Structure 1
């Protein structure tokens, strides 16, 4: 019936326009282009086409849909049965090719909805939107101004009761409508966050369509847990930074001493050095400055769900995620080069010629992953440590950006370790016992074995961190549910922090256990002392070339060794 009356009104309006010669002469506006309604909430309301721009100036249906979503809590509250039709008639008004103007709601429809929903908005701390001012809409649908009256209000909205029909007995009974429930005290989340534990600390964010909890609230972890985690991070991040810094400085002191696969350990150490620096930034800046953001909708500090809203959060995430993924790739490079050296007997020069590809893989892959996360705006904050990462509040991002890539890198590394071990055993079993092994080859074999042991030991902390991420992925919904009393095991999370930093500490210990740093630093110290002695005679640089030759000629020559003396005799 509603659809038929709308078509009749359109026909009368077309007839009036045709008979009015003034409109025939003066009207020069182009006809509107109609398009199907693509917003699911506004389908099946009596018309199925609309035209843009709408009555509030939106040029695209996507823009109109985003604004309609802000009224979703009000629609769910059901303050008026006419609200959904009224909003759709404003944001996706009816369109016909014969009429240049959009056909929106009539003023009585707007006033009816406003009379029932304004009090609800005011209790929530909002005002009636200016864009929905009822004076903008026509008073009635006629030949001069077309509009839609919309559905009639429900019987209980008009009379305070409704009729209940029993199909079995075909009896209609009059049931008094119970009073509307009072406005809930948790109006900051409109009832959408009731499924979460401690829902009084949650706020429903229209922009993200998610529930975020207050930054200072203790939802999953207590204040003591957070304090211990901060001290725990401070201790192990400091140890990781000192150990990795020693490894990097040793490498910079003499870059020619480190060869593949040993060189991959140094870049692995550099990645963990950046990883520890990210924790230092979090500790210096503070929990609130990194992991919290003041939401404009509620004017309250909430735990970050999109790290781009906070520059400190973005920096900490970038350093943490990029360095963690880079260290995983460098470990994969370590196992691959170890397989080439130990299993396939490649020389250092042959491996070194492929070094460019190793760097491309180790730095490019983590960069692509980091950029993708920033573009998707899925950086979120961790309640326990106050750092920013990905997957702290979302199971999907935890699986897609943390668990899956880490598992792939780990499995590939283990695969190359197994191949290398198998190749070494095969080579030893087919080697003839008469083959003489030189001292140099023996040293290379010992170094290869040490590197293989280090690569194998890396799998232990990497597996522990991966298991902790699986544990969080599997049980997070249960921890957050209001129907469950279970809480996360804090010991597992503290173990995860320790295992994620202990690898950096082992790199320094591994380098110190060899003789390489002793030779490198002794050589650097002799170079420093020699350069210092040369600077003690500044007049040497101002004498002539002939005088320099004379000084060099008059310097005592080195005495011949006893062996050389015997030979000359």
Structure 2
């Protein structure tokens, strides 16, 4: 008798692929007794939740089945009750095995009950479209093991294919939070980082902490040097100070991330609800949102200030603008440098694209969302590099013409050469780290999908979700890649020390600690580049005063 019941169930259902819209809703294969009133007395008595229609418990499934109760009671079709129960309360089998109704069962139930459903004002739901269910060619379709290889002798209904990523129950997030992971809504990546061990993460965290302290010290020194003598750094050099301030804030955020560990970047696990620790997303976590706003805003602002620095050098070298003329555009420079990053930051907040970084402990963008990575990191940083390099080369070429064409005193010739070298070295020290960061992001953009597929393949059995089928390429990210990325994100602020580092700075600090200010014998009304404009406009050579 038991065998007869089993054969009956097998005849009505087939183990096949779940519809794509349900791929993200299934969770852990845990059997539970059927409590649905309509499904009592069936050949099976256990099911799993959430089911393939995204019902998280049997109460939700019962509410969804309510409209069909009149049709079942009136017995419009002998197949309807079995079809509904096989769909809303699927048979719970061993791990990796599940069943769906056969297409002929769906078509028969729909055909028999269609007119009666019209009478009750009930429409056939889209998720019950019969075309989504398999053809069962065999008299008794066999369940398919999702982890086994496909057998060429199996029927079409049992051919293996890739089921896509199913969010494990441990990584499920409340729907109102708006999380997503690997294209699946209401899901979040695991914490700690899904790619690295705790030992690797500990090493990375201390590495980032040390580098952030070095960068914070360097940029803070630059800013304090500026405060000692504000009049010393005039345009076209003034953007270097704001550049240093931006990366001082960036390094401060990374240092805070080091202190906070993963308390901000990760959501704590929920005991008793099968919830593991997951990555923080969105703006519901105020501390994470604050870290993101400061880090992203000042990262973008630092990049824009470097572009403005190349613009001021270009204006001083090519159209021969003086310091006063460039300074008149300061309001416009500030509007661009703070306004553009502000707009981008607000846009990301509105789009809820904040993501916790379980490696560094901060919150940023583009860590898991490739679209945000491309449009809010790669695109603006790449544009800044192109514009800045073009203006920089044009400015250096113009300064070189000044050196070659205008007869200068030997002392001023040497100062001009030193100034050109400083510009070149400063630019290289900025561009090399920034280009390295862009290279790391491009590499992540190219291999993120492979890394994620590899992670699913390694963890699918632990999470009890379908494993990827016929994976062509597997790869795990190297920790060195991430360490280089964080190193270059921070070290890019250190070149500001190179610019202020001089004997004059030492004298100013010595005078500051002795409680007095050193008298300036070189007028500040002439900057290193504006003096070239005087020379080219016919001024005497003694007006070319280059402050090194």
Give the TM-score band, short-chain normalised. 0.5 to 0.7
1:351 aligns with 2:314: no
Deviations 1:237-256 (A, max 9, x none): 00111111111111122211
**2:52 aligned partner:** 74
- In structure 2, what is the equivalent of residue 176 of structure 1? 140
1:201 shift after superposition: 7.0
Structure 2: state its 5+ residue gaps.
1-20, 22-48, 56-60, 74-79, 94-112, 147-160, 458-470, 519-548
Helix, strand or coil: the match of 1:393?
coil
Deviation digits for residues 338-389 of structure 1, max 9, x if unmatched? 1122333321111111111111111111111111001001111234323321
> Which residue pairs with 2:431 in the alignment?
459
**Higher RCO, 1 vs 2 (CA within 8 Å, ≥6 residues apart):** 2
Q: Is 1:492 matched with 2:481?
A: yes
Please list, as runs of the form range in 1=range in 2, the aligned pairs for 1:103-502 lying within 5 A after superposition. Answer: 107-108=70-71, 112=81, 115-116=85-86, 119-120=89-90, 146-148=120-122, 164=137, 175-178=139-142, 195=164, 203=172, 207=178, 208=180, 209-210=184-185, 211-216=187-192, 219-292=194-267, 300-304=275-279, 306-431=281-406, 435-437=407-409, 443=415, 446-447=418-419, 449-481=421-453, 482=457, 483=471, 484-502=473-491
Q: Is the 2:206–2:258 contact (alpha carbons within 8 Å) kept by the matching residues of 1?
A: no
1:505 matched to 2:494? yes
Cα gap change, 1:229 to 1:451, in 2 (>3 Å) = same
Alignment length, in residue pairs? 400
Q: Once the 2 structures are TM-superposed, how far is the Cα of residue 451 of structure 1 from its aligned partner?
A: 3.5
Cα 1:175–1:488 shift into 2, 3 Å:
same
Kept in 2: contact 1:464–1:496 (CA 8 A): yes
TM-score by length of 1: 0.60
SS where residue 235 of structure 2 aligns?
coil
Distance 1:212 1:281 in 2: 23
Gaps of 5+ in 1: 1-40, 42-70, 78-82, 91-103, 124-138, 165-173, 183-191, 530-569
Q: Secondary structure at the match of 1:522?
A: helix
Q: 2: CA distance between counterparts of 1:143 and 1:235?
A: 69
Quick check: 1:248–1:269 contact (8 Å CA) kept in 2?
yes
The equivalent of 2:536 in structure 1 is none
State the Cα RMSD in Å.
4.5
Any conservation in 2 of the 1:317–1:389 contact (CA below 8 Å)? yes
CA distance in 2, matches of 1:226, 1:143: 58
* Higher Rg: 1
Query: Aligned partners of 1:149 and 1:325: how far apart in 2?
Result: 53
TM-score using structure 2 length = 0.62
- Which region of structure 1 is more displaced relative to structure 2, 312-321 or 446-455? 446-455
